[in-house]
Structure 1
């Protein structure tokens, strides 16, 4: 097990600070503690919540939406639907979380006294229209909700009632598409309106305007966009959807999403949109964003120990921990450690990974190269290990009594690419993801996904090696990243353990 070292003040740290499919970060500080929430789209439980003392090392402490009463997703909710763009704030001794459920309930507001949970049932906001809602409070207690577009309305955050009519605000650079992800801040003598624009692909950027009141009028920063990597060969692209936070020493920082495309042209990112950190200075009343890079100067305060990068679950501690997610829902009768103590039992609903109601439990792929292993007993059914992007893009190894099969689904194409007889009884399934180091030509993919079984002596029997670009957003579309995990496609299958190990250089 590898544990990140604890850098001394003045050293460097790596970016992203939260790798993998953790997009649309929103951050707040309460005392010396920072808390951060991300979008979760079609996955349940929803809205992962993280804690940090240094803005660099983050530990997931829960999921804000961990009950069906909080997160209602219909069985046919599309991939990349569901929960969009939370804003997390600490105000008046309470934590506030506002999100959009684009697959049903619209804009919702939740509260908690402890960000680890439990969070309240939702307060519905039927009068707030638009995605990416933000919350900000004036000195007199007025609560402003600003949404993509960009428009704003006063609300009662305790009841969800809108107070007055929505009004348009500054919507970014004229002609730039998709003004979204608004955040409103009262800093010094001004109210600042931070937005993303240009779309969440390669033209993504961050712009800002300021006004004397939260209602504006807003004047744009003369140096907009204050952050973008559009039109560059920078290794971090799609930079945007940012949020600002002030450290206890008075310094300012920005969290934002970005991607790490690899391979040939156009470059494929497979981990999804990840959370990055960058310092911010203020010059003449405007934020000046520092250089965003894979290695950055550590914040000027002592850093805390990071969580272990490897992850092994022996399913001995009850229900799955907070990093485990499932598409749309996870009924306890279909995913339990109680049926066979020390094992995770999955009971099939849908017949395959192609179906929206598949029984699947996974964790986000967080490293460009990694090794995933699981011991499965398929005696009572059929199931296995999969790398999932959505219902139409996934690679899997499926075990049934006496056989394993490697299956690849890419859009309308579905093929069994390899099979092998196996002895009766439990078998270790294995997936190895290796980032490509040598780009041979423009078609070279970002990584290779090797799939097979493991012999009792640990030897890897590779049954197939597949090009990873077909499990990328550039091929599949949407807003999510890879999730690697276990599934049941028939009857009941049992997993004794699951092991995820990064193998990045």
Structure 2
């Protein structure tokens, strides 16, 4: 029996889509998630057993594949669907407030992927209006793109038309008809994340509804054709954590797949809030998995999502040994190698006056993967000013910064800014950013965590500040992303000599 770890993929990995691929060596599973304004975009994880997952690459690794350079915060790569047919991987996604609805292909999921083709309206005038596209083929080879009809531009921005569908000519990437409304759920807000499956001569349409917050859930309907009409399942929602005290909340946006032992599984997003009232989710939306059973009446039943975290991890990077950055490094609206270079045994970032308040900071980081986490970097600021930060977006970030004779801890929470500054006597030092479990009243924590900001100078460690972690949670920031911990440069050249991050979920 497969051990189902939860989270399946730790940290900021929302909107999962998964596909099983049969190979000569046995089945493999590939999983894609959203990245919004971060690049490289749309990570692809692979597993041979559904327990151990490896990040093998990204879809968007070249300028122009995703137009996220100027998208609004939380725009960009929204909700992929990943499928495999006739030896080719297909991924459809919305580049929200960027290029539009896109179709990418690759013969190898690790890449390279195509530049991405717009999925056009029937008249060829523009991209289809909507988000969260799904792609499916019927037995005759007809291609169906089913999507959530949220309009993101023009005079009708914000209008929601429910779940819609079109047949598409995939050679010309153009709709063969005007969008048709199909089943849009049981009345919950924001019907989205549609996926079509053919199982035992029936077509099932699974969607998310209720919003991607505490009301989130998965609902399903079925019919004899991919076009419907669709009959609503009597037990909807199939899975939801709404109005419960379960440790995994916001469960929804699911995708079905056959697992290693022939059992069906549902991958879906969720959050891990930690406080006395389970109110604050530090890491944002992560990828989870739960078993699926098919009942005698032909309807699927999905189990509640159980928390089963992996053991703690330690990531240590010595840039002296690195020939290139690994796949885990990401940047905001830019590719990491456009902001930094490996030089003289260090990762060197080139500051140009932009701070973390800027929508495009000189910042390169990695997702925070554990609720309890400690990150340390050795940094040389003899030629610049920069530091170590944890970021949700340009309005919510916490950092410890060094350079120009000063050492500063800073918390930016919306329009509120607080700083703690002491003199700096060295230009080479260690910076520390720890996320620790709060000391709660009688063991009941009242926040997600506490961020400890400090530095070690000439062998002596000093704590500069403590910041309540709830200010960098998905509920406070209302961001679609999650925590990313990274290094940044404000001015001049900042050289990062080493990186160590270790954490667990105790």
Q: What does 1:334-413 correspond to in 2, within 5 Å?
A: 334-337=339-342, 340-413=343-416
1:476 paired residue number: 477
Identify which of 86, 99, 106 aligns with 2:93.
Answer: 99
The 8 Å contact of residues 66 and 98 in structure 2, kept in 1 or not, is answered as no
Identify which of 233, 239, 243 aligns with 1:227.
Answer: 239
Offset at 1:238? 0.4
1 CA distance for matches of 2:101 and 2:182? 19
Identify which of 56, 60, 63 aligns with 2:55.
Answer: 60
2 CA distance for matches of 1:19 and 1:503? 11
**Is the alpha carbon distance of 1:332 and 1:248 closer, same or farther for their aligned partners in structure 2, counting shifts above 3 Å?**
closer
2:433 paired residue number: 431
The 8 Å contact of residues 384 and 397 in structure 1, kept in 2 or not, is answered as yes
The 8 Å contact of residues 190 and 211 in structure 1, kept in 2 or not, is answered as yes
The 8 Å contact of residues 258 and 276 in structure 1, kept in 2 or not, is answered as yes
**Is the alpha carbon distance of 1:308 and 1:90 closer, same or farther for their aligned partners in structure 2, counting shifts above 3 Å?**
farther
2:155 paired residue number: none
2:200 paired residue number: 188
1:314 paired residue number: 318
1 CA distance for matches of 2:171 and 2:344? 43
1 CA distance for matches of 2:306 and 2:47? 20
2:265 paired residue number: 253
Higher relative contact order (CA 8 A, sep 6+): 1
TM-score, normalization by structure 1: 0.92
**Is the alpha carbon distance of 1:13 and 1:30 closer, same or farther for their aligned partners in structure 2, counting shifts above 3 Å?**
closer
Q: What does 1:260-339 correspond to in 2, within 5 Å?
A: 260-265=272-277, 267-283=279-295, 284-295=297-308, 309-315=313-319, 316-330=321-335, 332-337=337-342
Secondary structure of 1:438's partner? coil
**Is the alpha carbon distance of 1:350 and 1:49 closer, same or farther for their aligned partners in structure 2, counting shifts above 3 Å?**
farther
| 1:68-108 alpha-carbon deviations (Å, 9 max, x no partner) | 12122233x22211110000001111000111011211101
The 8 Å contact of residues 401 and 424 in structure 1, kept in 2 or not, is answered as no
Give the unaligned 5+ runs of structure 1: 1-8, 297-305
Offset at 1:205? 0.3
The 8 Å contact of residues 241 and 304 in structure 2, kept in 1 or not, is answered as no
The 8 Å contact of residues 37 and 332 in structure 2, kept in 1 or not, is answered as yes
Q: What does 1:5-20 correspond to in 2, within 5 Å?
A: 9=1, 13-20=4-11
2:45 paired residue number: 50
Offset at 1:491? 1.4
**Over 4 Å off, 4+ runs:** 439-443
Give the unaligned 5+ runs of structure 2: 122-127, 149-161
2:190 paired residue number: 178
2:139 paired residue number: 139
Over aligned residue pairs, what C-alpha RMSD do you find?
Answer: 1.9
Q: What does 1:152-163 correspond to in 2, within 5 Å?
A: 152-163=165-176
2 CA distance for matches of 1:388 and 1:184? 36
Secondary structure of 1:310's partner? strand
2:120 paired residue number: 126
| 1:280-305 alpha-carbon deviations (Å, 9 max, x no partner) | 11002111112321139xxxxxxxxx
1:151 to 2:145 alignment: no
**Is the alpha carbon distance of 1:331 and 1:235 closer, same or farther for their aligned partners in structure 2, counting shifts above 3 Å?**
closer
1:448 to 2:450 alignment: yes
2 CA distance for matches of 1:336 and 1:73? 22
| 1:439-478 alpha-carbon deviations (Å, 9 max, x no partner) | 5699921100000012454x53211111000011211112
Deviates more, 1:487-496 or 1:241-250: 241-250
Secondary structure of 1:133's partner? strand
The 8 Å contact of residues 57 and 307 in structure 1, kept in 2 or not, is answered as no
| 1:460-504 alpha-carbon deviations (Å, 9 max, x no partner) | 321111100001121111211100000011111110111111144
2 CA distance for matches of 1:248 and 1:351? 48
Offset at 1:129? 1.9
**Is the alpha carbon distance of 1:333 and 1:366 closer, same or farther for their aligned partners in structure 2, counting shifts above 3 Å?**
closer
Offset at 1:350? 4.5
